[in-house]
Amino acid sequence: RISRQSQGKGNAIEQGIADTFVGLGITMEDVRDVSLLLKLDLVHAEIGDLIPLCAEIVKISKPMLVVGNKFDETPEALRTKLAAQNVAFASAASELALRNAVAANVIQYLPGDEQFKIANEATLSPAQKAGLAKIAEVMKQCKGTGVQQAINRAVFGLLDMIVVYPVEDENHYCNKQGDVLPDAFLMRRGSTPHDLAYQVHTDIGKGFLYAVDARTKMRIKENHELKDGDIIKIVSAAK
């Protein structure tokens, strides 16, 4: 049916399939890339051919990371089996307990840290000491609680994002209020200073003139590919 409709409209069948799944954010390029990967003739494809087609389209357009929670309660044999399937491990309960302890000024900890530091051990009850000791053992095995690590793996691995810091003062890495590195933007790898300008504000993007690499103090072109950790000043005609 999609093939007939596409031919009737004069469109490629890849576009017809993409239009069917437009609500899922699947593009014609996704369909084309997968059909080439599978060496599939979409016009003459059978039902059996469409199952791997759909599976690959989902894999490309909707990358997923499976996270195994309750890492500390999982048998080692099962962890080994899941690790072979690229499953990430975490202990959400440990992460929550640590954040609550930080809020109560009991420990010093930032999400993603492999260890925490007890503020004043003399103030802890035996139960609190035992609980923190158990969490410390979990973190030793998982190099943290695994929660932030899983997020980082999804964002920087699966989605291939980078972090870029826009600033107004390239000498002090700050904005007009003096806040150092006030903003951080997640950008797709391959993004340019012009893309960053639009992320900051549409008017900034429309009025884009050039950008400055705050580290080197050198002017960079609008099509320069940004790198992870870049600190960029955007110069725009817009105020």
Task: Work out the average pLDDT over 209-219.
Answer: 96
Side-chain-side CA neighbours of residue 129 (13 Å): 7
Examine the pLDDT at 177 and tell me if it is beyond 90. Answer: yes
**pLDDT for 46 beyond 90:** no
Q: What is the pLDDT of residue 238?
A: 84
pLDDT band (50, 70, 90) for residue 49: confident
Per-residue pLDDT tens over the stretch 130-141: 999 999 999 998
How far CA 13 is from CA of 48, 111, 133, 138, 199, in Å, comes to: 18, 46, 59, 51, 34
Q: Is residue 12's pLDDT more than 80?
A: no
DSSP for 46-75, please give it.
Answer: -HHHHHHHHHHHHHHHS----EE--GGGS-
Closest CA to 156 of 93, 239, 17, 63: 63
Question: How much is the pLDDT for 10?
Answer: 43
Nearest-CA neighbor of 32 among 52, 46, 12, 4?
12
| Cα three-residue angle 82-86-87, rounded to 5 degrees | 55
d(CA 152, CA 42) in angstroms, rounded, equals: 36
* Residues constituting the chain: 239
pLDDT tens per residue across span 54-63: 888 888 888 8
Q: What is the pTM of this model?
A: 0.75
**Residue ranges of domains in the chain, CATH in brackets:** 2-61 (no CATH), 67-144 (no CATH), 160-236 (3.10.20.30)
Mean pLDDT, range 184-193, rounded to an integer: 95
Q: Which residue has the higher pLDDT, 95 or 25?
A: 95
pLDDT, residue 176, reads: 92
Mean pLDDT (the chain) is 90
pLDDT > 90 in the chain, percent: 68
Instruction: Name the residue with higher pLDDT: 200 or 28.
Output: 200
pLDDT at 173 over 60: yes
Yes or no: say if 151 and 95 are a contact pair by the CB < 8 Å rule.
Answer: no
Q: Tell me if 52 sits within 8 A of 113, measured CB to CB.
A: no
Tell me if residue 58 falls in helix, strand or coil. helix
